[in-house]
Amino acid sequence: MEDPNDTVQLSQSAATTNGSAQIIKLPLPSASGESSGLDLNLDPDSGQNQQKPTNPSINSATSGAAGGHIRTHTPLWYALYFPQLDELSEARQQKVLNLLAEIAESISSTVSFYPLALICEIRSSLKYFGDINVIHNKLEPLLTTQLQEQQLPEYFLYSASPSITGSLLLARSGHNALIYQKENLRSALSLLPTEVLQLHKEQNRRLYNMGVRYLRDIWRLPSDGLRKRFGSNFINQLNKALGKAPEPTRNYLPPPAFITSYDLPYELENLDRLLPVADELLAQLCDFLRRRDLSTSHLQFSLLHEKRNSTVIDMGLRQASRSREHIMLLLETHFTNLSIPAPVIALKIEIKKFDAFMSHSNSLLSEGKPTAHYNDNNLNKFMEQLRARLGDDHIKSISTAAEHCPEYASQQLNYEESIQSNQSNAPIVKNIRPFWLLPEPLLLNIRRGKLYHRKALTIINGPERIETYWWSGTDVCRDYYVAKEKNGSRLWIYREKQGERNWYLHGFFS
C-alpha cells in the first residue's frame, strides 16, 4: 500500500516487506555491525535482530500512521554520525566535519553541524535522486575516501527521520533506520537505550537506578517529574527528537571562491590594451565581494600564453580591500615592470584569500594618539604601490635590536615583518652612534703616524670599548673613537684590540 500523501516513492524493499511500513532498514554497510560498536542489545521481546522488520512494537506504532494526515513538506533529516572523531581535538574535528560537509553538499542544500555528526535535509532532494538508497550509495564512497585521506577509520553511522535529534539518536544507536513519518518516531525511538542521549554520568546513574533502560521507559514517566529531576534540557531533547519542539540548525556555508577569466578575441602584446579587460573582470570581482560583504587581501592575475606557462602576478594587499580603482592602480604598476614572454591570449583572475570587510572609520575623539597608524588608507595605498613597483626586497623598515655588536644593533626588516615584530625597541645606548654605517668596515691608512681616510683624522672622542661574541669563534673586541676629518666630516672609527691592531672606519656621523 502506498501512502497517497507521500510524494516520495518508497524503496522497493520497504514496499514488499510491509505494506504500511514507514520504517525501513537502509542497506547496512557490511562492516558496520562489528565496527560501530554501538549496536545495542534490544530487549528480548523484540529479538536480537534489529533488522527484523516485523517487530511487534514497531508495527503497533506504525498503525497510527495509516490515518494519513501527513504534511508533504515535513523535512527529512539524514544524519551522518562519525564516532571516530571523538578522539580528535576540537579544531581538527571541525576541520574534518567541514571537509565532510563539502561532500554532503552534493546531496543536500542544507547541511548543518552537530557534535560528531552532520545532518542533511534530504526530503527536497529525494525527488531528484529518486530513492534514499541512491543517495546513500552516492555518498558512501565519497565519505569513506575522504575519511581515508584524513587517516581516520572509514566507517560512519547514519539514519534518517523527520526530526534532527531523532535522526541523531538513531544514528548514535547504530540503527541505520529510515523513518518517513513523524508519527512513527516515538515507536522507533522507544527501542533505543538511554545511553544515546549522552547524558552526564550522574544522570545516567539516576536513570539506571530508576529502572529506566530504554527510551520507552522514559515515555512512561510523568514529564513534570522528569523536568524536575533532570532539567528542562533533558525534556527538550526528547521533545525535539519527537518533532514536538523546534530545532534550530547551524548550516554549513561553503567557503566563497572566485575565479574568472576572459579569452581575448585576438592575441595582445601591449599590456596597456589589457587594462580595459582587467577592469571589466575587476568589476565582476568587486561586485562579487560586495554582495558577500567580503574583501580580499590576496589576488592572483594570470596572463595566459599559447604554448607557454602563464605569467602570474601575485598581488598581496596590506589592507584587505574591494576597491576597483585601488586594485586597478596596483595592476597598472605591476604591468609597468612586467615583461611577457609571448602574446597574451587570455586573462584570469582568482581570489586567493578572502577577508571580512572592514569599512574605514575615523575616531570621534582624535586626542588619543595611536602609536603608529598602519591602518591609514592613503599610506597603505602608497605602500602597496611602492611594493608593487620596487618589490619587497627594496623597501625596508628599520628597527633597533638589543645587541652590543654595532653591526647587529640595527635591523632591516620587510614592511610586513615590521608590523608583526611589534617594535621591541632595544634600550638606547649612551655613547653616540653614527647615522651611517658602512656595510663593511674599511681599513684606514696610517701615514707618518697619522690616520688617514681621505684626509688626515683627528680623534675627538673615545675610546669606547665594545667586547662581545667571545663565546663564538669570531671575537669582537674593539675600541671605538669619534674622529674628525680635515674636511669637516665626522667618522666613527675603531681599532682592533687583538691581532694586527688595525684601524677601521665603521660609519659617518652625518
Partner 1 sequence: MTIIRNALETPEPKPDKAFSHIDELLHDNPNLWRGCDMADQGFHGRSTGFSQLDDILPGRGWPNNGLMEVITPQWGMGELQLLIPLMRSIIEQRKWILWISPPYLLYAPALAQASISTDQVLVVKLDTSCKDALWSMEKALQTENCGLVLAWQNWLPGKVLRRLQLAAETGDTLGVLFKHHDSKHSPSPIRLKIKDSQSQQSSFSKAKISVIKARGNFRPLSTHIDLYQYN
Give the containing element (helix H, strand E) for 411: strand 410-414
Q: Is 334 in the site for partner 1 (CB under 8 A)?
A: no
Q: How many residues can be counted in the chain?
A: 510
Nearer to partner 1, 210 or 426 (CB): 426
How many whole angstroms separate alpha carbon 225 and alpha carbon 232? 11
Tell which residue, 335, 341, 320, has the closest CA to residue 279.
Answer: 335
Q: Is 504 in the site for partner 1 (CB under 8 A)?
A: no
Nearest distance, CB of residue 143 and partner 1, angstroms: 52
Q: Is 338 in the site for partner 1 (CB under 8 A)?
A: no
Interface stretch with partner 1, choices 166-174, 238-246, 269-277, 427-435 (CB under 8 A): 427-435
Tell which residue, 121, 134, 25, 20, has the closest CA to residue 73.
Answer: 121
Q: Is 409 in the site for partner 1 (CB under 8 A)?
A: yes
Q: Taking the alpha carbons of 243, 248, 249, 253 in that order, is the dihedral positive or negative?
A: positive
Among 33, 434, 462, 463, binds partner 1 (CB under 8 A): 434
Which residues inside 445-464 make contact with partner 1, applying CB under 8 A? 454, 460
Interface stretch with partner 1, choices 158-166, 229-237, 284-292, 437-445 (CB under 8 A): 437-445
How many whole angstroms separate alpha carbon 149 and alpha carbon 135? 22
Nearer to partner 1, 129 or 415 (CB): 415
Q: Is 439 in the site for partner 1 (CB under 8 A)?
A: yes
Among 288, 415, 469, 504, binds partner 1 (CB under 8 A): 415
Tell which residue, 33, 60, 55, has the closest CA to residue 44.
Answer: 55
Q: Is 367 in the site for partner 1 (CB under 8 A)?
A: no
Q: In sequence order, what DSSP letters do the residues of 13-43 get, joined into one string? A: HHHHH-TT--EEEPPPPTTHHHHS----PPP
Which residues inside 29-58 make contact with partner 1, applying CB under 8 A? none
Nearer to partner 1, 402 or 446 (CB): 402
Nearest distance, CB of residue 479 and partner 1, angstroms: 18
Q: Is 405 in the site for partner 1 (CB under 8 A)?
A: no
Q: Is 429 in the site for partner 1 (CB under 8 A)?
A: yes
Q: Is 360 in the site for partner 1 (CB under 8 A)?
A: no
Nearest distance, CB of residue 82 and partner 1, angstroms: 49
Mapping DSSP to helix (H, G, I), strand (E, B) and coil, where does residue 461 land? strand
* Beta-carbon contacts of residue 267 (< 8 Å; ≥ 6 apart): 306, 343, 344, 345
Nearest distance, CB of residue 407 and partner 1, angstroms: 9
Among 312, 379, 446, 459, binds partner 1 (CB under 8 A): 379
Q: Residue 203 burial by CB count (10 A; 0-12/13-18/19+): exposed, middle or buried?
A: middle
Among 221, 281, 294, 386, binds partner 1 (CB under 8 A): 386
Tell which residue, 183, 198, 182, has the closest CA to residue 81.
Answer: 198
Count of residues interacting with partner 1 (CB under 8 A): 53
Q: Is 408 in the site for partner 1 (CB under 8 A)?
A: no
Nearest distance, CB of residue 375 and partner 1, angstroms: 11
CB 153 within 8 A of CB 84: yes
Phi/psi region, residue 434 (left: phi>0; alpha: psi -120 to 50; beta: rest), is beta
Q: In sequence order, what DSSP letters do the residues of 300-342 get, joined into one string? A: EEEEEETTSPPEEEEEEEEEEE--HHHHHHHHHHHHHT---SS
Chain positions contacting partner 1, by CB under 8 A: 369-373, 376, 378-379, 382, 385-386, 389-390, 393-401, 409-412, 415, 418, 423, 425-426, 428-429, 432-439, 454, 460, 484, 487-491, 507-510
